[in-house]
């Protein structure tokens, strides 16, 4: 089993969990945010939906330039979020599937113009940002949904609203 195979197994498992959380995002609340400095529900959900493909794409180029982040888009509906997630996961799997262990352990570099910002093995970037960063924001989204009174699905075990073991 290759490093890419291992990452793709985790990606597939976590994508299913992420889908269950995104399915709970209410269309009528996409512009809601818990605080003035926070992202809206839609912006946060969009960030989660595009993360796997976006990070895998960034990881496929070295040196990569610091992405130019602008106004964060907001989806028009939960259906758009789910479609975007599906496309993003498909893109990530296609990019990861083309990387052998040598590519995964090679040094990946992020640049700001001609200034190096960070360098690490490509697999470390994928674990840290494509996966761990994704889970962090999915946790944020579950707090947003709880504040809106939306029942939460099981993520790694029972939630207060759903118990897959019963």
Instruction: Give the pLDDT score at 5.
Output: 97
pTM of the shown model: 0.95
Cα atoms in the Cβ-side hemisphere of radius 13 Å centred on 35: 4
pLDDT digits (tens, 9 = 90+) for 45-94: 999 999 999 999 999 999 999 988 778 889 999 999 999 999 999 999 99
pLDDT tens figures, 9-36: 999 999 999 999 999 999 999 999 999 9
Structure tokens at 41: 């529900």
Angle at 158 between CA 8 and CA 22, to 5 degrees: 55
Q: Where are the domains of the chain?
A: 3-147
Q: Could you tell me which CATH number the domain at 3-147 has? A: 1.20.120.450
Residue 98, Cβ neighbours under 10 Å: how many?
10
């Amino acid at each position: 089993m290759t490093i890419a195979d291992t990452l793709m197994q985790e990606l597939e498992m976590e994508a299913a969990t992420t889908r269950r959380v995104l399915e709970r995002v209410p269309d009528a609340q996409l512009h809601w945010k818990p605080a003035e400095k926070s992202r809206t529900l839609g912006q946060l959900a969009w960030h989660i939906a595009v993360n796997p493909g976006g990070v895998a794409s960034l990881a496929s180029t070295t040196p990569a330039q610091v992405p130019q982040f602008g106004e964060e888009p907001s989806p028009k509906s939960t259906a758009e979020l789910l479609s975007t997630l599906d496309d993003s996961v498909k893109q990530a799997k296609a990019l990861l599937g083309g990387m052998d262990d040598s590519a995964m352990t090679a040094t990946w570099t992020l640049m700001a113009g001609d200034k190096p910002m960070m360098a690490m093995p490509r697999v470390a970037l994928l674990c840290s940002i494509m996966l761990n960063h994704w889970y962090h924001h999915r946790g944020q989204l579950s707090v947003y949904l709880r504040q809106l009174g939306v029942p939460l699905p099981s993520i790694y075990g029972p939630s207060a609203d759903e118990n897959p073991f019963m």
